[in-house]
Amino acid sequence: MGSSPSTNSSRRASTRPYDGRRWSAKPRRPSPFIASAAYAQRRSQRGFALISALVLAFLYFGLMQLLLIDSSRSLHEAQSFKARVVAKTLAENGAEIAATNAVNQDSGGGSVTDAQGFCRGTLAPGSGVNTLVIRGEGQTSGVVSQTATVDLLLNRNFKQLNIAYAKHSQ
C-alpha cells in the first residue's frame, strides 16, 4: 500500500517549509549562460574601475602641477619685490653716505659693498650758488638683481644741509 503522491507532498510540506528551492539539500547551480553573463558584468565593472582610477590620477597630478607652477610664480614675484625694496634702501644709504661726507669733508661721495649689494653716493654742485645734488645708487646681489637711484637737491647753509626735493626711481 503506498501512499498517493498528494499525501506524500503534503507530508513534506508539513515537515519542512518550502523556501523556493527544490527539496534537495544541494544548492542549485546557475545555468552556464547566466554564469557567463555575471562574469562579463564583473569584468566590465573592473574596466570601469580601472578607467576611473586613471582619470582621477590624471586629474590629481594635473592639479599638483598647477599648484607647483603657481607657487613658483609667487616665489619669483616675492624675490623680485624683496630685491626692489633692498635696492631702494641701498640707494638711500648711498645718498646718506654722500650727505654725511659732504658735511664732514668737502669731498662728498663714497661707496659700500655688503652681502645685500652695492651702494654708491656722489655729490655734485647744483645749478644754484649754495645748492648740491646728491645721487645715491643701489644694486642688489642675489637671485634677482635690481637697481635703484635716489636724487636729492640740497640747500647748504653753514654746515647744515636742507633737502629741497627728492626723486626716487621705480
Task: Say which CATH number the domain at 112 has.
Answer: 3.30.1300
| CA-based radius of gyration for the chain | 46
Residue 8 resides in a domain: no
Residue 14 resides in a domain: no
Residue 115 resides in a domain: yes
pTM to 2 decimals? 0.61
- Tens-place pLDDT, residues 51-102: 999 999 999 999 999 999 999 999 999 999 999 999 999 999 998 888 888 7
Residue 53 resides in a domain: no
- Tens-place pLDDT, residues 7-25: 555 544 455 555 665 555 5
Cα–Cα distance list, 60 to 18, 57, 66, 71, 74 (Å): 54, 5, 10, 17, 21
The total number of structural domains in the chain stands at: 1
- Tens-place pLDDT, residues 119-141: 999 988 888 777 888 899 999 99
Residue 12 resides in a domain: no
Residue 32 resides in a domain: no
Cell of 13: 510540506
- pLDDT at residue 161 in the model: 73
Structural domain span for residue 117 = 63-168
Residue 1 resides in a domain: no
Residue 111 resides in a domain: yes
